[in-house]
């Protein structure tokens, strides 16, 4: 962040203070005379110029605040984008590597046809596409899966010889 980043806000405050001082001096100068024609120069020089400085100072403060909000929002969006990209690469990694669903244990391939992946209600062959994104599957023997209350998958039909 550069050293002029806070200049707009500080300059806005200085302008507002200078404007209020000019308004006060204009009012004080006009209050010393009871003749209206003598008060007009004080009203113009102090009142209008002071009011203009207050308005410009307020605009500088608002612009500085908007600039800070934009920088914070951009940082939050960048953080969110990084998190989404990290989540995207983390969820794409198991599918790209061919390891299947997260939660599968390596070495439980269906070599003999007796290992299945058991979910909450059904069981699947380890190569079933329905369980690729599931995280609550666990390897189980085919005999244990058939003995439990789980039903076989209708897509991959585990345990049926091809």
User: Between 149 and 92, whose confidence is greater?
Assistant: 149
Do 76 and 113 fall into the same domain?
A: no
Residue 135 CB neighbour total at 10 angstroms? 9
Query: 1 in a domain, yes or no?
Result: no
Do 103 and 92 fall into the same domain?
A: no
Give the end-to-end CA distance of the chain in Å, rounded to a whole number. Answer: 67
Residue that finishes a domain, picked among 62, 79, 97: 97
| 145 burial level (CB within 10 Å; 0-12, 13-18, 19+) | buried
Q: What is the pLDDT of residue 104?
A: 39
Q: What is the pLDDT of residue 1?
A: 55
Query: 148 in a domain, yes or no?
Result: yes
User: Between 24 and 162, whose confidence is greater?
Assistant: 24
Query: 35 in a domain, yes or no?
Result: yes
Number of domains in the chain: 2
Q: Which domain holds residue 132?
A: 99-162
Do 109 and 91 fall into the same domain?
A: no
Do 92 and 37 fall into the same domain?
A: yes
Residues 86-125 pLDDT 10s: 877 766 555 444 444 444 344 444 444 578 888 888 888 8
How many residues appear in the chain? 162
Do 56 and 92 fall into the same domain?
A: yes
User: Between 149 and 88, whose confidence is greater?
Assistant: 149
Give the pLDDT band (50/70/90) at residue 72.
very high
Residue that finishes a domain, picked among 73, 97, 121: 97
Do 54 and 75 fall into the same domain?
A: yes
Do 88 and 19 fall into the same domain?
A: yes
Q: What is the pLDDT of residue 106?
A: 42
∠ CA 3-6-9, nearest 5°, is: 155
Residues 10-46 pLDDT 10s: 999 999 999 999 999 999 888 888 888 888 888 888 8
């Amino acid at each position: 962040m550069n050293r002029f980043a806070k200049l707009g806000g500080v300059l806005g405050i200085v302008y507002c203070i200078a404007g209020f001082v000019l308004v006060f001096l204009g009012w004080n100068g006009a209050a010393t005379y009871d003749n209206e024609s003598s008060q007009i120069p004080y009203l113009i020089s102090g009142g209008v110029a002071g009011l203009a400085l207050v308005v410009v100072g307020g605009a500088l403060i608002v612009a500085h605040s908007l600039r800070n909000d934009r920088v914070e929002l951009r940082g939050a969006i960048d953080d969110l984008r990084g998190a989404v990209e990290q989540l995207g690469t983390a969820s794409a990694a198991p599918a790209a590597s061919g390891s299947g669903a997260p939660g599968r244990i390596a070495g439980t391939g269906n070599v003999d046809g007796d290992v299945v992946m058991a979910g909450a209600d059904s069981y699947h062959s380890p190569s079933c596409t329905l369980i690729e994104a599931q995280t609550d599957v666990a390897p189980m023997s085919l005999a244990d899966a058939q003995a439990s209350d789980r039903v076989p998958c209708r897509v991959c039909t585990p345990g049926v010889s091809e």
